[in-house]
Amino acid sequence: MLALLLSACAKQSPVEPSNAVYFWRTEFRLDSTEWTFLSRYQISTIYCRYFDVVMNDTTPIPNATLAFADTIPAGVAFVPTVYITEDCMHQWHEGLARKIVDRVVQMNATNDIRGIVELQMDCDYTDRSRRHFYTFLEQVRSEARRHGMRLSVTIRLHQLQMPAPPADYGVLMLYNTGDPRNFEQRNPILDHRDVEPYVRHLPDYPLPLAAAYPVYRWQRQVQGVRIEHTVEASEILGVKKMVESMRPDLSRRIIVYHLDEENINRYDNDTYEAIFHH
């Protein structure tokens, strides 16, 4: 019965089957390796970070705005993504939703980026900030619709325990699953042991979901020693199998974080074929 219900939901899901990437740099420029990656793996969607929103004293302000130095790949859906720090949602900021949407629209117009039909908001909200954030999302969604855009949000594992946010769909972040401050953490990027406690929430989570997996490295200092973390292909594929067994529609759209020549070269073709396998 569960499989039938998930299948029915998948048919109505706004998450179309596709391969996708995040682009998380401050200058949009693609080298030959990155162009080849998009073509080889039939990437049809790029989630591109436009800017962050951070607190400046008592006021949220934009930060680290993306500069465009290259053209948008033809035939690829482009999703402006805005990261907002959690402390911005500790209190209500009237008009913030409209300012963010207007800024995204202005950036599109300035850089002659057309055909945008989606906006994504990224926030590591908690129980403390959730009420303000959900009200904020309702306003963002209303503003985005005025410009012909739907709204997606990122969903971290701990957020699966909360009511679903008001959005058209979510991207389940299967990375940054551990606490980098915990020196005993085996791999804070992705560890199946950090994912397992949350998968029980997947079957009943009411929001349509896509899945995002890490292909990056991370360095941290542990007692004065620099440690570099990467994720073994077997770990990514093991987590992928686990979450898809609980939520089959997570195989519809596969996203990797993030598009970068160094990340691309970290894994071989067979690994990427397996990650993007639907």
Question: What is the pLDDT, as a whole number, of residue 5?
Answer: 45
Residues of the chain with pLDDT under 50: 1-11
H helix or E strand, kind and range, residue 121: strand 118-122
Q: What does the alpha-carbon distance between residue 3 and residue 23 come to, in Å, rounded to a whole number?
A: 33
CATH of 2-7+18-275, one of 3.20.20.80, 1.10.10.10, 3.40.50.970, 3.40.50.300: 3.20.20.80
Please choose, from the candidates 202, 207, 269, the residue with its C-alpha nearest in 3D space to the C-alpha of residue 239: 202
Q: What does the alpha-carbon distance between residue 219 and residue 228 come to, in Å, rounded to a whole number?
A: 4
DSSP 77-99: EEEEEEEE-GGGGSS--TTHHHH
The number of angstroms, rounded, from the C-alpha of 254 to the middle of its chain's C-alpha atoms is 11
- φ and ψ of 18, to 5 deg: -170, 165
Return the exposure string of 218-238: e unless at least 16 CB atoms fall within 10 Å of the residue's CB, then b: beeeeeeeeeebbbebebbee
Question: What is the pLDDT, as a whole number, of residue 268?
Answer: 96
Question: What is the pLDDT, as a whole number, of residue 12?
Answer: 67
pTM: 0.94
